[in-house]
Amino acid sequence: MQGVGFRPFVATLATRLGLGGWVRNESGVVRVLVEGTPEAIAAFAAGLLAEAPPLADVAAMDRRDVPPEGLDAFAIAPSVADGAGRPVVPPDVVMCDACAAEVADPADRRHRYPFTTCTDCGPRYSVIRAMPYDRARTTLAEFPLCAACRREYDTPGDRRFHAESIACPACGPRVWLEDRGTLLADGDDAIREAGRRLRLGQVLAVRGLGGFHLACDATNAAAVATLRARKRREAKPLAVMVASLAEAEAFADLTDAERRLLASRERPIVLVHARASAIPPGVAPGLARIGLMLAYTPLHLLLLEAACAPLVMTSGNLSDEPIAADLAEGRERLAPLADALLLHDREIAARIDDSVVRAAAGPTAPPILLRRARGFAPLPLASPLAATRTVLALGAHLKHTLAWAAGPDVWVSPHIGDLDTWETLAHAARLRDGLARLLGMRPACIAADLHAGYLSHRLADPWPDLPREVVQHHHAHVAAVMAEHRVVSPVLGIAYDGTGAGDDGTSWGAEFLACDLAGYRRVGHWLPVSLPGGDRASREGWRAAIGYAHASGGALAPRIGFADVAPEAVAQAVRQLEARVNAPVASSMGRLFDAVAALSGTRVVSAYEGQAAMELEALAERAAPWTGDPLWQWIETPGAPLVVSPAPLVERAAAWRREAADAAPGRAAAALHETVVAATVATAVRLCGALGLETVALGGGSWQNALLTGRVAAALAGAGLRVLTPRALPPNDGAIAYGQAVVAIARESSGNSR
């Protein structure tokens, strides 16, 4: 209830009812004392729930009678941090309609002011330095209120009564445009000049709510190409921002679910089908969907208006670096990439990226969260089991998040990124310490991935002597889904992703696990194959194709050729397989998708993680469904897990490319999806029947594929099974830290801590 205008609401309600008393924050709860007639107090209690602010979420209310103190007036008392509870750190809140109207009104004193906010909207997490959330503990403390803002802040009933981020042109932050240290324009002139430069095709660095964006005119193919070249982002899709839902309709074919997501209070990036020729192909090469979002701050709205075009708004960084946030960072890291920088002096206490979601395939299915950041984080998630010791969960290597757990709650950090650089690791460490400071945390236990080579293990360096719970990657995936649905009884977990360390010395990534929160047993998996070149196969799909061809009989592998891959490289990969040199074994759904993409001629080498799989999903959405014979089979060995082999699919995909190269990609994409759906459902039904399980949990990055998730979930439900899918967290590795935390808690609860 912090950061949502709850205390001003309480004060206004009490004053209206003639009650005396006070309201204050107390370490995660709001405490209220009211004095008055029994009728007025009853009306007050009812109004707390019935009239609460739109952003409020009242989890529970406890009422007690206390002796009166003789208070006639009602006041907002100073916050108290007594350490008895954990504060709720509020996420940043999208610009409200009332503030947007003021910004557009020439008669309003905040006309065209880019930092207009009120109690219902504005920055929260990104400006908070300490809890409880009061102005003095935010980066807005550097801007003393003018007389007009002070009156609004102190007046009960005013929309800005105790609005901690209140500001105006007379006393608030300012904006300016510069180029390599030279001031180009200030205030509103800066925004207008920035818009003019965007119209001319320039690339701008824009300091926003939680960090920098790199921006350009999304309809200008040359500008998009320039941004890609400077950012070193060859093909990964770029997000596009528009001013309104009506403008979004002009660029994309939206479903009702997508409209709701775009206009939701979190204002995430939403993956939608772009209209043909509305946006240059360079925005999302090879994909049917683009990432679209609505403006969520007045600054963005004014910039879009000045540019007269939708804008690419991609993270302000070079590829693989954390998003820039500080002025010094922006000037040092982004000035070489941008023609000018649009800056402001409201400091960013916590950098945070934009969230990404997509609507599910079915009309009633919940949306799929792909990146949990602005608007969602760092709100806590519940744990089905309460922690009796504070747990720091270190997360995974890719799509990294970390988590703190204490009592019944788990705080999962905003999306951090792939831990491929020391800069990103340093960002993760700062975020770890920032959350610890806000929440008053110190770890008593570390939860970490089984893979000892993950850079995330370095986040525990300050506490080398703490007990450590090592959690297998795919068990963490399944546990995360179980925990958010508050399921503690055994389930069949289906974990599909790239790879993670298995407990048998091989890599796993296409698993059927019988598990509860504390432990698991591998009861099935897809066919393990050797991947020549090891980790290189995650980007060079032709290597995965050679591995699957070799595992599917051996005769096919030496006969495969790939466009733009030297025959000598293919021959060397085959020799690696035969000699078992630098060819680790993995069961991986991600590598199966890569292999089929390469075999069918869809994509041989990926410029970014998941590119081949995303393109296959786009092809499958347009292709006719595969209705031929099953392209998978079971391999059964007594006493061993059940194995699903895609050997028939691998043979057929290669044959289609030889017989009809132009038709092969669409045909292979449809057959791949049908094969994975049919094999997954049949295997799950068989294993659940044999093990007496009634619930299936789907976790892992491959379930970001809405087509796959929708069809598998519907078929399993049709077979009478309960199906759990990720909702509050992404299916991908962004959920690993949460899963690690709840596994550590469950092991302690069961007495099986390691």
Q: What is the mean pLDDT of residues 589-612?
A: 95
Strands 529-530 and 585-586: antiparallel
Per-residue pLDDT at 2: 59
**Inter-residue contact 517 to 488 (CB < 8 Å):** yes
Identify which of 328, 172, 155, 299 has the alpha carbon closest to the alpha carbon of residue 241: 299
pLDDT band at 318 (very low <50, low <70, confident <90, very high): confident
The single-letter code of the amino acid at 386 is A
Q: How many CA atoms lie within 13 A of 85 on its CB side?
A: 12
- Give the model's pLDDT for residue 370: 97
Q: Is 743 helix (H, G, I), strand (E, B) or coil?
A: helix
Q: How many whole angstroms separate alpha carbon 541 and alpha carbon 665?
A: 14
pLDDT at 244 > cutoff 90: yes
CA distance 684 to 232: 42
CA distance 207 to 327: 8
Using CA atoms, how far apart are residues 258 and 414, in angstroms rounded to an integer?
Answer: 23
Q: What is the dihedral of CA 134, 137, 140, 145, to 10 degrees?
A: 60
User: How far is residue 163's CA from residue 120's CA, in Å, rounded to a whole number?
Assistant: 8
Cβ within 8 Å of residue 676, ≥6 positions away: 589, 592, 708, 712
Question: Is the C-alpha dihedral spanning 368, 373, 379, 385 positive or negative?
Answer: positive
H helices of 339-496, in order, are 422-439, 473-484
Model confidence at 430, pLDDT cuts 50, 70, 90, reads: very high
Query: Tokens representing 403?
Result: 């988590």
Q: Average pLDDT, stretch 266-289? A: 91
The yes-or-no verdict on residue 753 having pLDDT over 80 is no
Domains in the chain: ranges and CATH: 6-76 (3.30.70.100), 175-344 (3.90.870.10), 368-472+735-750 (3.30.420.360), 530-673 (1.10.357.160)
Helix spans in 123-220 (H): 147-154, 187-199
Mean pLDDT for all residues in the chain:
93
Complete DSSP assignment for 587-649: --HHHHHHHHHHHTTS-SS-SSTTHHHHHHHHHHHHSPPP-SS---EEE--TTS-EEEE-HHH
Task: Flag whether pLDDT at 303 surpasses 90.
Answer: yes
Query: Which residues, 6+ apart, have CB-to-CB distance to 332 below 8 Å?
Result: none
Q: What is the model's pLDDT at position 25?
A: 77
Q: Which of 2-11, 109-118, 326-335, 627-636 has the lowest mean pLDDT?
A: 2-11
**Helix, strand, coil % in the chain, rounded to nearest 5:** 35, 20, 40
pLDDT tens per residue across span 150-192: 999 999 889 999 999 999 999 999 999 999 889 999 999 999 9
Q: Which three-class secondary structure state does DSSP give residue 570? A: helix
- The full 3-state SS of 224-287, as one line of letters, equals HHHHHHHHCCCCCCCEEEECCHHHHHHHEECCHHHHHHHCCCCCCEEEEEECCCCCCHHHCCCC
Q: CA–CA separation, 754 vs 752, rounded Å?
A: 6
Instruction: Tell me the CA end-to-end span of the chain in Å, nearest whole number.
Output: 37
Q: Please state which of the ranges 66-80, 100-114, 211-225, 324-338 shows the lowest mean pLDDT.
A: 66-80
Q: Has residue 389 got a pLDDT over 70?
A: yes
Average of pLDDT values for 448-469? 96
Rounded distance, CA 393 to CA 744, Å? Answer: 9
Contact predicate 314/238, CB 8 Å: yes
Alpha helices by DSSP H, 440-520? 473-484
Burial class (CB in 10 A: 0-12, 13-18, 19+), 97: exposed
Q: Rg of the chain over CA atoms, in angstroms?
A: 27
Among the ranges given (49-58, 103-112, 350-359), the one the predictor scored with the smallest mean pLDDT: 49-58
E strands in 115-231 = 175-179, 182-186, 204-207, 212-217
Q: What percent of the chain shows pLDDT beyond 70?
A: 97
Task: Choose the weakest-confidence range: 156-165, 221-230, 475-484.
Answer: 156-165
| CA dist., res. 195 & res. 208, Å (int) | 15
Three-state helix/strand/coil letters over 303-354 = HHHHHCCCEEEEECCCCCCCCCCCHHHHHHHHCCCCCEEEEECCCCCCCCCC
**Strands 239-242, 311-315: parallel, antiparallel or unpaired by DSSP?**
antiparallel
**pLDDT higher than threshold 90 for residue 61:** no
Helical spans, DSSP H, in 321-457: 327-329, 422-439
Q: What is the mean pLDDT of residues 540-559?
A: 82
Decide if 250 contacts 292 (C-beta within 8 A): no
628 CB-near residues (< 8 Å, 6+ apart): 671
Whole-number pLDDT of residue 426: 95
Say how far residue 572 (Cα) sits from the centre of its chain: 39
Higher-confidence residue: 232 or 556? 232
Residue type, 62: D
Compute the average pLDDT of residues 262-267: 95
Question: What is the arithmetic mean of pLDDT over 727-743?
Answer: 97
What's the pLDDT at 694? 98
| Cα gap 315→269, rounded to integer Å | 12
Q: Is the pLDDT of residue 554 over 90?
A: no
- Residue 731's pLDDT is what? 97
The DSSP bridge pattern shows strands 340-344 and 175-179 to be: antiparallel
Q: What is the pLDDT, as a whole number, of residue 80?
A: 73
pLDDT of residue 51: 77
Q: Which of 384, 82, 344 is nearest to 187 (CA)?
A: 344
On the question of pLDDT at 278 being above 70, the answer is yes
Residues 353-380 have a mean pLDDT of: 91
Picking from 503, 163, 173, 204, the residue whose alpha carbon sits closest to that of residue 334 is 204
Mean pLDDT of 19-26: 84
Higher pLDDT, 151 or 276: 151
Residue 563 has pLDDT above 90, yes or no: no
Say what the pLDDT of residue 81 is. 64
Tokens found for residue 413: 């950090």
Per-residue pLDDT at 28 exceeds 80: no
The answer, yes or no, to whether residue 86 has pLDDT greater than 80, is: no
Of 26-40, 77-91, 303-317, minimum mean pLDDT range: 77-91
Q: Is-cis flag, bond preceding 378, omega within 30?
A: yes
Token couple for 17: 């009812």
Band of residue 741 on the pLDDT scale cut at 50, 70, 90: very high
| pLDDT bracket for residue 7 (50, 70, 90) | confident
In this structure, of 105-109, 523-527, 747-751, the range with the lowest mean pLDDT score is: 747-751
Q: Is 142 helix (H, G, I), strand (E, B) or coil?
A: helix
Across 360-380, b (16+ Cβ under 10 Å) vs e yields bbeeebebbbbbbbbbbbbbb
Give the lowest-confidence range in 34-43, 264-273, 442-451, 473-482: 34-43
The DSSP code for 565 is S
Strands 507-515 and 722-724: unpaired
pLDDT-derived band at 606 (thresholds 50, 70, 90) equals: very high
pLDDT at residue number 49: 79
How much is the pLDDT for 254? 95
Checking if the pLDDT of 527 tops 70, the result is: yes
Q: Residue 121: which of 9, 12, 4, 7 has the closest Cα?
A: 4
Longest dimension (CA), the chain: 91
User: What are the two backbone dihedrals, phi and then psi, of residue 542, each rounded to the nearest 5 degrees?
Assistant: -60, -30
Percent of the chain having pLDDT more than 90? 77
Q: What are phi and psi of 79, to 5 degrees?
A: -70, 155
pLDDT (0 to 100) of residue 663: 86
Confidence of residue 558 (pLDDT cuts 50, 70, 90): low
Q: What is the mean pLDDT of residues 645-662?
A: 89
How high is the pLDDT of residue 309? 96
Residue 363: its pLDDT value, please? 67
Pick from 243, 418, 235: nearest CA to 323:
418
Helices 38-50 and 6-16 pack at an angle, to 10 degrees, of 150
Contact yes or no for 642/512 (Cβ under 8 A): yes
Q: Which two tokens stand for residue 500?
A: 């993670």
- Please indicate whether residue 54 or residue 610 has the higher confidence score (pLDDT): 610
